[in-house]
């Protein structure tokens, strides 16, 4: 039985990289930059985690690749991918995806009909990407995850988790956040970041911990005071959810109430309208645990919106970080080159976004395996044209 011919054009994919400046020397340029980049993208979708794997996959798919990409000198060797990925400037490379991501975001918004998308800002460390002999710390990247759409919209890399405070404003500048709800863990609860979000015409739900000592303590004290008479003196709202699975029974109680002007520095937290807390009660193997988390927000009291924002932010661990660690095995990456490790971190996040968009109901891991097995399926994921 003859294999069905490849009918899906990759022209729409190639055009995103046409303006990418070639960082290589002009001597012996046998392989077009765009073709090298597109092959790398396709190979990562199919399971590759480095230049050697990209080259191996491309060699196995030589017949298919020669049909859809300009490759006048055949399939590049691994040194070509290594050189290109080491020399490419990560910021310039990420810029090539802006229009592509905007198109995906627009399509996803139309399909889901979400009124106010939630953009979760969070950091992740590639634990084995350090090189002590070269004084290179592990790569820590801060990214924006469109929780409702399954899309990573931007990424900024740092070498230390503590640098998140400076990275968050930079990553927010890379995305149009107007009309969205920004969620960030407690490290990002900074007055300047709040100001930036509000001035960009977005809302926020931000975690509180000891890094905002006086504010955190004042919120705890105020909530405790109001709890004494079951919030009889304030227009608080409550929402309770129950979940069971994976050997756990979980009850989450969400409480939201107006932020009192007596909070320390109230006027310095631009747009502050409400405070909230989540009481998480978990029963697992007969053991009970309780955890309480506190938040500040620009939302008026609307507890289900608040609950949705909190749950969506927590979802980044399962929908994004878990997939990167388990399916992509990103935490095991030993890439040491500064540019290449950042470029690969972005390729991982972007291809994960593409897999989320494909309508196949299989798991992310199965979709990725399918990309490795079936060139037609991979082309569908890449172009967004499901068969």
List the chain domain ranges.
Answer: 205-301
For residues 258 and 273, is the Cβ–Cβ distance under 8 A?
A: yes
> Within 13 A of 120's CA, how many CA atoms are on the CB side?
27
pLDDT the model gives residue 137: 63
- What is the rounded CA–CA span in Å between residue 49 and residue 330? 8
- What is the rounded CA–CA span in Å between residue 321 and residue 324? 5
pLDDT the model gives residue 325: 87
For residues 207 and 228, is the Cβ–Cβ distance under 8 A?
A: no
For residues 60 and 46, is the Cβ–Cβ distance under 8 A?
A: no
Q: Tokens for 40?
A: 């790398």
Collect the ranges in the chain with pLDDT lower than 50.
1-7
For residues 130 and 325, is the Cβ–Cβ distance under 8 A?
A: no
pLDDT the model gives residue 159: 67
pLDDT the model gives residue 151: 93
If you ran DSSP here, which 8-state letter would residue 318 be given? Answer: I
If phi > 0 it is left, if psi is from -120 to 50 it is alpha, else beta; for residue 119 that is: beta
Of 313, 316, 349, 353, the C-alpha closest to 330 is 349
pLDDT the model gives residue 136: 59
């Amino acid at each position: 039985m003859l294999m069905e011919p490849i009918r899906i054009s990759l022209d729409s994919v190639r055009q995103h990289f046409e303006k990418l400046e070639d960082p290589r020397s002009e001597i012996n340029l046998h392989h077009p930059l765009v073709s090298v980049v597109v092959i790398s993208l396709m190979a990562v979708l199919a399971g590759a985690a480095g230049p050697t794997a990209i080259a191996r996959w491309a060699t196995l798919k030589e017949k298919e690749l020669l049909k859809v990409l300009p490759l006048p000198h055949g399939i590049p060797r691994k040194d070509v991918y290594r050189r290109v990925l080491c020399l490419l400037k990560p910021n310039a490379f990420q810029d090539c995806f802006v229009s592509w991501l905007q198109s995906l975001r627009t399509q996803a918004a139309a399909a889901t009909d979400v009124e106010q998308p939630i953009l979760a800002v969070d950091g992740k460390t590639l634990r084995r990407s350090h090189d002590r002999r070269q004084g290179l710390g592990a790569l820590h990247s801060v990214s924006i995850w469109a929780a409702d759409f399954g899309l990573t919209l931007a990424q900024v890399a740092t070498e230390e988790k503590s640098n998140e405070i400076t990275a968050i404003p930079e990553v927010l500048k890379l995305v149009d956040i107007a009309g969205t709800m920004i969620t960030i863990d407690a490290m990002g609860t900074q007055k300047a970041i709040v100001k930036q979000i509000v001035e960009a015409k977005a809302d926020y739900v931000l975690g509180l911990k000891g890094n905002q000592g006086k504010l955190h303590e004042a919120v705890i004290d105020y909530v405790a005071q109001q709890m004494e008479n079951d919030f009889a003196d304030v227009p608080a709202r409550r929402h309770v959810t129950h979940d069971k699975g994976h050997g756990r029974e979980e009850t989450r109680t969400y409480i939201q109430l107006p932020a009192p002007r007596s909070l320390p520095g109230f006027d310095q937290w631009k747009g502050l309208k409400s405070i909230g807390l989540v009481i998480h009660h978990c029963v697992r193997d007969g053991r009970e645990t309780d955890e309480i988390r506190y938040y500040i927000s620009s939302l008026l009291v609307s507890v289900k919106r608040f609950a949705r924002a909190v749950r969506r932010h927590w979802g980044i661990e399962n929908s994004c970080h878990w997939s990167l660690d388990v399916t992509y095995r990103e935490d095991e990456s030993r890439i040491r080159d500064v540019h290449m490790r950042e470029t690969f971190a972005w390729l991982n996040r972007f291809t994960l976004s593409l897999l989320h968009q494909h309508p196949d109901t299989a798991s992310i891991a199965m979709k990725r395996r399918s990309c490795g097995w079936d060139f037609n399926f991979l082309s569908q994921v890449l172009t967004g044209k499901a068969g």
